[in-house]
A and B are shown apart, each in its own frame.
Chain A
Amino acid sequence: MRSDPDVFVIGEDVLDPYGGAFKVTKGLSSRYPDRVLTTPISEAGIVGFAAGMALRGYKPVVEIMFGDFVTLIADQLINQVSKMTWMYNEKIDFPMVVRAPMGGRRGYGPTHSQTLERLFLGVPGLVVAAISPVFDPGEIVRRAILEVGQPVFLVENKLLYQEMVLEEEALEERFGFCRSDDVDLLPTVTLSHGDEADVTLIAYGGMVPLVLDAAERLHTEEELDCDVVVPHRLSPLAIEPLIESVRRSRRVVVVEEGVAAWGWGAEVVAALSGIALEAPAERVGAAMSPIPASRRQEQEVLPQIDDVVAAAIRTVDRTFA
């Protein structure tokens, strides 16, 4: 907001002192009072409103309070925003960011814990991106708003708001990884132990800390060196870095917090199907169930670290349960 006067923040409950349900916008309305707009509870309305502002030359950033509520913006995103420049045959920039926190593990229950970006994957004209702790989230947000130039649906994560960003040194020290980023605006980060890899673990967003822990366990307990590949652009799929790692390891586990069936992982596995693997690709995700509010019951539905570890071991030993 400091560097570009056209950036405009729109959302529910975003004004100070409250500063947003997850405090992401805290301080902005005090500093930039004429560029932060608090809105009625009208998710569809405010996304359309943002599209109108984008048409008028602004760079609007819309906050959807809980990722579960993105169901309400489907028509605006799919039938209006994502098609705006293509169907009118205009080669202009149309910068607009809609951001929402996904994820459970806070006991919020069935309609406040979901991971629903899956609904917008594969929508032509819409970039779906996700922040993670292994690449400066502020930089991802900045690029989404100022550089991508087309509509971005940015996936944040409720638990990640409290996590630290893992700098290169931390990744090396704690996990023994060396990090390489590809050159995409919304890059894919590959964390590896060296030239060889036993298993490739692919994950984005809120699952990254869990997958890093799983990789650590696999390294110390199973002597399996995993590549952890973290895309920050989910759709269109950034396949090259995934291919590169899987060609080395020939074993792949894709992890997401959303329901495993019909999810992002399904597309990744399909996209990797041209590579000869040592074992069938594994997908880890939530069970085919709504998410219970009870924390204990929630654990049975959402993916846990054991699930990732087990999936990785299965690629080496198919008899492993």
Chain B
Amino acid sequence: MTIVASGSGTASLRGLDGPVVTGADCDNFLRYRDMLLIRRVEETILDLFSEGKVGGTTHTCIGQEANAVGLIGQLQPKRDYVLSNHRNHGHYLAFGGPIDRLLAEIMGYSTGVCGGRGGSQHIKYGHFMSNGVQGGIAPIGVGLAFGEKRAGTGGIVVVCLGDGTLGEGVVYESLNMASLWEVPLLFLVENNRYAQSTPIRLGVKGSLIGRAEPFGIPATEIDTTDVAEIEPWAKKAIRHVREEQMPLWAVIHTYRLAAHSKGDDSRDPEEVQRFAERDPLLVHAKRLDDQRLSAAEAWVDDAVAAALRSAAASEFSATDNQPPVTP
């Protein structure tokens, strides 16, 4: 297997700068590299906060990287759409969003993906969109999928929800509409078992998987942090939505290994430790030899460092007199 370092500050997971690996066992390497990239970017963002270099808040997906890489990573950014939530960075990166512009956005620079206006929670890049108000993007996803179906492109829309989001009424309005109008919408529910500080048993009653059935929408679930299990499961889910042009409710039981936002983790440390043993990076690393692991580390370190340099070189701008930077 040959590794070609990209070294470009605008690297993204879609290899827009050209392929970085060739040869045998690429897929496992790429999956690891991609999850590791998300992990390091999230850690970098948390560092920026703890060093006082950025203000506001952020919500990292540490521990849930396999979901982004395993499912979102299989979509087609020019054809499909992803509507995500406050915990969107992994989805954004797996969908091909440039690293440096995400960092610049969080740092409040005008060269950020949204000119510094959206910050960590409100990102739009190409067909990727996120908003921090729980569930609010669900009906938007239905409308987008409806329009997409009429255009006949075969594109699908993925709406990313959490377990806590299942408290919002508009999610159920969206299930009803999606089924009624038969739209190609994949409801991705990442059950990380907590809504901020509230465990699911205090907030969500009944079956997560069973919620779609009353609306006539098929459902599928998986309980794993292993990207090699998620990928084929996701492939089937995506294919179902794309080929049938119908909605699907897909639940991944997962766990976040870091706090809800920055450092406010009130969960039982023993529980967190238990789940840390199933860290998606640990699980998948077992499939790679040391040489490949260090190659992945090296590539990711370079990519993140370059992205940070590129982002930090931007001028800070708090106002909108800058024209939007085209993706």
Q: Footprint of B on A, CB under 8 Å?
A: 37, 39-40, 42, 44-58, 60, 75-76, 79-80, 83, 86-91
Residues in B whose Cβ lies below 8 Å from that of A57: 147
Give the dominant DSSP class at A's interface. helix
Closest residue of A by beta carbon distance from B143: A52
Determine if A45 and B177 form an interchain contact, defined as CB atoms under 8 angstroms apart: yes
CA distance A148 to B11 in the complex (A): 39
Determine if A49 and B180 form an interchain contact, defined as CB atoms under 8 angstroms apart: no
Determine if A75 and B324 form an interchain contact, defined as CB atoms under 8 angstroms apart: no
CB-contacts of B104-147 with A (<8 A): 114-118, 122-124, 129, 131, 133, 136-147
Closest residue of A by beta carbon distance from B144: A52
10 tightest Cβ-Cβ pairs between the two chains A and B: A52-B143, A48-B139, A56-B147, A45-B173, A88-B124, A89-B115, A52-B144, A49-B143, A42-B173, A52-B140
CA distance A49 to B116 in the complex (A): 27
Residues in B whose Cβ lies below 8 Å from that of A50: 143
Determine if B131 and A51 form an interchain contact, defined as CB atoms under 8 angstroms apart: no
In-complex Cβ contact of B148 among A40, A56, A75, A88 (8 A): A56
Interface residues contributed by chain B, number (CB under 8 Å): 36
Task: Take A40-B173, A44-B170, A44-B173 as given contacts and tell me if A80 and B143 are in contact as well, using a CB distance cutoff of 8 Å.
Answer: no
The answer to whether the Cβ of B220 comes within 8 Å of any Cβ in the partner chain is no
Residues in B whose Cβ lies below 8 Å from that of A86: 117
CA distance A89 to B129 in the complex (A): 12
Task: Take A75-B136, A87-B117, A91-B324 as given contacts and tell me if A45 and B147 are in contact as well, using a CB distance cutoff of 8 Å.
Answer: no
Residues in A whose Cβ lies below 8 Å from that of B116: 89
Determine if B118 and A87 form an interchain contact, defined as CB atoms under 8 angstroms apart: yes
Determine if B136 and A48 form an interchain contact, defined as CB atoms under 8 angstroms apart: yes
The answer to whether the Cβ of B174 comes within 8 Å of any Cβ in the partner chain is yes
Determine if A52 and B122 form an interchain contact, defined as CB atoms under 8 angstroms apart: no
- Count A-B pairs with CB separation below 8 Å: 110
Residues in A whose Cβ lies below 8 Å from that of B123: 88
**Chain B CB within 10 Å, residue with most, of A37, A40, A55:** A55
Shortest A59–chain B CB gap in Å is 11
Determine if A49 and B122 form an interchain contact, defined as CB atoms under 8 angstroms apart: no
Q: Footprint of A on B, CB under 8 Å?
A: 114-118, 122-124, 129, 131, 133, 136-148, 151, 169-170, 173-174, 176-177, 180-181, 320, 323-324
User: Would you list 29 pairs from A and B whose C-beta atoms are within 8 A, ordered by A residue?
Assistant: A40-B176, A40-B180, A42-B177, A45-B142, A46-B139, A48-B142, A49-B139, A49-B140, A49-B146, A51-B139, A52-B145, A53-B147, A55-B129, A56-B146, A57-B147, A58-B147, A76-B136, A76-B139, A79-B133, A80-B131, A86-B117, A87-B122, A88-B123, A89-B117, A89-B118, A89-B124, A89-B320, A90-B324, A91-B324
20 A-B pairs besides A52-B145, A55-B143 with CB distance below 8 A are A42-B139, A42-B173, A42-B177, A45-B170, A45-B177, A46-B139, A46-B177, A48-B137, A49-B143, A49-B146, A49-B177, A52-B140, A52-B143, A53-B143, A56-B143, A56-B147, A57-B147, A80-B137, A87-B118, A89-B117
CA distance A45 to B140 in the complex (A): 8
In-complex Cβ contact of B144 among A53, A76, A87, A90 (8 A): A53
CA distance A44 to B118 in the complex (A): 23
Shortest B140–chain A CB gap in Å is 4
CA distance A52 to B118 in the complex (A): 19
Closest residue of B by beta carbon distance from A60: B143
Residues in B whose Cβ lies below 8 Å from that of A54: 143
Shortest A279–chain B CB gap in Å is 41
Shortest B324–chain A CB gap in Å is 5
CA distance A56 to B153 in the complex (A): 12
**Chain B CB within 10 Å, residue with most, of A44, A52, A58:** A52
CA distance A88 to B320 in the complex (A): 12
Residues in B whose Cβ lies below 8 Å from that of A58: 147
CA distance A48 to B116 in the complex (A): 25
Determine if B169 and A44 form an interchain contact, defined as CB atoms under 8 angstroms apart: yes
Residues in B whose Cβ lies below 8 Å from that of A55: 129, 140, 143-144, 147
In-complex Cβ contact of A51 among B143, B148, B169, B176 (8 A): B143
Shortest A66–chain B CB gap in Å is 18
Residues in A whose Cβ lies below 8 Å from that of B145: 52
CA distance A90 to B323 in the complex (A): 9
Closest residue of A by beta carbon distance from B132: A79
